Amino acid sequence: MKRFSKLSIPYLIWMSLLVLIPIAILIIMAFQETKGIKIFEGKLTFNNFKVLVDDYFIESLWLSFLYSGISTVCCIFIAYPIAYIIARSHFNNRFLVLCFLVLPMWSNTLLRTKAIASLFMEGNIISSMLAKIGLELPTLDLYGKPLGVIIGMVSMYLPFMILPIYTVLEKIDKSLYDASDDLGANTFKTFWKVTFPLSLKGIVTGIILVFLPCATGFGIAEGLGESGLIGTFIQQNFGNNITYGVGALVSIVILIIITASLFIVGKVDKEGETLL
Amino acid sequence: MEKNKLIELKNIVKSYDGEVVVDHMTLYIRENEFITLVGPSGCGKTTTLRMIGGFEKPDKGEIIMNGQVVNDLPPHKRPINTVFQKYALFPHLNVYGNVAFGLNNKTYAELMEFYTEEKVMAQVAKLYPGLDLKDKVSKRKLRKSINSLIDESVRNALKLVNLEGYEKRKVDSMSGGQQQRIAIARAIINRPKILLLDEPLAALDLKLRQNMQYELKEMQRKLGITFVFVTHDQEEALTMSDTVVVMSKGIIQQIGTPQDIYNEPKNSFVANFVGESNIIKGLYTAHKEVTFMGQSFECVDENFAIGEEVQVVIRPEDWDVVPLEQAKLVGRVDASVFKGVHFEHCVIIQGKELIVHTYEFVKVGEQIGLNVDPYEIHLMKKEKVNAETVLEEILNAEEGINKDETIQ
């Protein structure tokens, strides 16, 4: 094994350049009150920490977690049956079916967000087309509404839930179903006592893959008219306000929350097989 | 004592993609017997087992249990449990969870019936000594007593397979032999009427396999459960079984006790598959007399017409090596292999190769004199196909795709 240890050097360099150093800069900035990046000029200050008790910050953080929590749960309920049906079906080309499900991921996220947003507004392409043949649809007045944001998040991140669940379901040895049946479990019991526990790892992976980008991203929410989330909050500090110190601090707080939650997941799942 | 028929297969036909795997099979399995289905790979033995277990449905024919046709009864409703080829243990449960799986699936009422009310009440009295059993016992207490009975059952089952103290272990941390024991414990804890075993010993090494053969036989005797065992190993079949069913190409070739199968093979397939055989063309020349290789021999078979062509089966170990002047057949030793207990000589007599097992060493190239006792000669009706082509088919079938596995 020692011979291969040299192969890890590029990754170590990569990691330190693109992960460790930026985080170090973030930490330094969190203790400075500067406009823009002036790492070596600013003075040590704790003024930025005031933001952590700011109502607006707490509200955004809470809203972000709420929205992404709801979206993640929706994703599980939608993705599990889809993954289950594909995994247990006898399609010759299950991979192709999966590809079709994942296909929307290949188009630009921003574009998709804009497209969904326009569907939520008055006079969108579908309703105007339907109007031409005399069908009047009530307007989906979802732009800027919580439901709209959640629909956006779910549609965007659903594939990230389907894929890991499908992968674990597909890997389950078929003879286990026979064994369960043989030992007196009907289809329903087999699902709850064999299939579901064995697919938990896929669900946890899916939760990580869906919840984190939902909670921290700003593109989707912003695009759908919701600008009260934590992603937007950070973006504003780095954008228009150029209060980098505040932005850096908030980023670090979120980083800590995420790391802590991953750590907890790792503790619960002792084998560490959850993360693909 | 006549044993009752537990399950009956009548004219079962099963095919996959137009290929017939089991062809008009009729078989019945009795109470408390150890029955083995043996045959080369792809002969339909595993498919037969899966149909008994309820995992496959026959295309034609009937499976009858207790006078009822059970073709469509799903596995979880049959009083049958299976030990799967690769054990199929649940990786998310520990040893205890695996073994208790079957009992935990039963409903309260089923468990009450399983343990009988008497036993449950005895357990209640044991757990709650002060309780007056004439009053109505609360459901919670009953449930608790049943759970402690399940606990006892699991421990007993693990004890039976010599795995006490392993309850908390993860199944994938156990060795192949241990996993197999867990699979057996998991099946027998449900006290099935029939236990199906699908080549359970195939993955074990030779010594372990031999030990398990005895243990399984012993277990079957102790439990009084009917074991239906599938194997491609004829030696295993002969060692363990009360009844052996030899199958080939979806057809039963012979059913009988191990002795019958070995000593009185019905056709050249059975003669060749179960142990080694010399099959020689012969003529039934007189009552209890057969002529082959230019010599007439006394024999014990009677059901042949005089002048009928027959096939003579002589097991390699049944030849007697005698001094040349006393010998009826004299041949030359063409090759000789030391097999541990005996020598295997390849003897050529009149251009035909015979296999002879003896304890005596004979130099290659030397003359050897052979005799055979009347009761060691077994006659078979002449078949259309000769022994060589049958043997070739066996070899081909073994090399070919393992149909039993691909269909799963």
Mean pLDDT of A47-70: 86
pLDDT at B401: 42
Q: Which residue carries 């389950």 as its tokens?
A: A172
A262 lies in some domain = no
Mean pLDDT of B27-43: 87
Render pLDDT for A255-270 as a digit per residue (tens, 0 to 9).
Answer: 888 888 888 877 766 5
A266 lies in some domain = no
pLDDT at A73: 95
pLDDT at B394: 55
pLDDT tier, B214 (very low <50, low <70, confident <90, very high otherwise): confident
A270 lies in some domain = no
Render pLDDT for B233-271 as a digit per residue (tens, 0 to 9).
Answer: 888 888 888 899 998 888 888 898 988 888 888 888 888
Nearest-Cα distance to chain A for B54, in Å, is: 8
- Nearest Cβ partner for A179 among B80, B88, B92: B88
pLDDT at B196: 92
Mean pLDDT of A82-108: 82
- Nearest Cβ partner for A173 among B54, B88, B186: B88
Q: Do B55 and A179 touch (CB under 8 A)?
A: no
| Pairwise CA distance, residues B245 & B221, whole Å | 20
Q: What is the CA radius of gyration of chain A?
A: 23
A3-17, A64-78, B131-145, B269-283: which has the highest mean pLDDT? A64-78
Name the 3-class secondary structure at B135.
Answer: coil
Nearest-Cα distance to chain A for B77, in Å, is: 7
Q: Does B72 touch chain A (CB under 8 A)?
A: no
A27 lies in some domain = no
Q: Does B351 touch chain A (CB under 8 A)?
A: no
CA distances from B206 to B209, B276, B327 (A): 5, 20, 39
Q: Do B75 and A178 touch (CB under 8 A)?
A: yes
Torsion sign over Cα A230, A231, A233, A238: positive
B408: which chain A residues are within 8 Å (Cβ-Cβ)? 174-175
Give residue limits of the domains in chain B.
268-382
Q: Give buried/exposed letters for A109-144 (b at 16+ CB in 10 A, else e).
A: eeebbeebbebbbeebeebeeeeeeeeeeeebebbb
pLDDT tier, A274 (very low <50, low <70, confident <90, very high otherwise): very low
| Pairwise CA distance, residues B245 & B43, whole Å | 12
Q: Domain count for chain A, please give it.
A: 1
| Pairwise CA distance, residues B290 & B288, whole Å | 7
pLDDT at A16: 87
pLDDT at A271: 52
A219 lies in some domain = yes
Nearest-Cα distance to chain A for B84, in Å, is: 8
A198: which chain B residues are within 8 Å (Cβ-Cβ)? 91-92
Q: Does B180 touch chain A (CB under 8 A)?
A: no
Residues 6+ apart with CB under 8 A from A224: A113, A116, A117, A120, A142, A143, A144, A148, A149, A152
Residue B292: name the closest of B284, B300, B282 by CA.
B282
Q: Do B90 and A182 touch (CB under 8 A)?
A: no
For domain B268-382, the CATH architecture is Beta Barrel (2.40)
| Higher-pLDDT residue of A129, B155 | B155
Render pLDDT for A64-92 as a digit per residue (tens, 0 to 9).
Answer: 889 999 999 999 999 999 999 988 887 77
Q: Do A194 and B90 touch (CB under 8 A)?
A: yes
Looking at chain A, the whole-number percentage of residues with pLDDT higher than 70 is 92
The H or E element spanning position B222 is helix B206-223
Residue A174's CATH number:
1.10.3720.10
Question: Are B232 and B46 in contact, with CB atoms under 8 Å apart?
Answer: no
C-alpha B391, offset from chain centre: 21
A201 lies in some domain = yes
CA distances from A209 to A159, A171, A243, A265, B358 (A): 10, 20, 30, 13, 72
The per-residue pLDDT of chain B, averaged, comes to 83
Q: Do B84 and A178 touch (CB under 8 A)?
A: yes
Mean pLDDT of B102-124: 86
Residue type for position B41: S
Q: Please check the confidence at residue B385 and state whether its pLDDT lies above 60.
A: no
Q: Does B101 touch chain A (CB under 8 A)?
A: yes
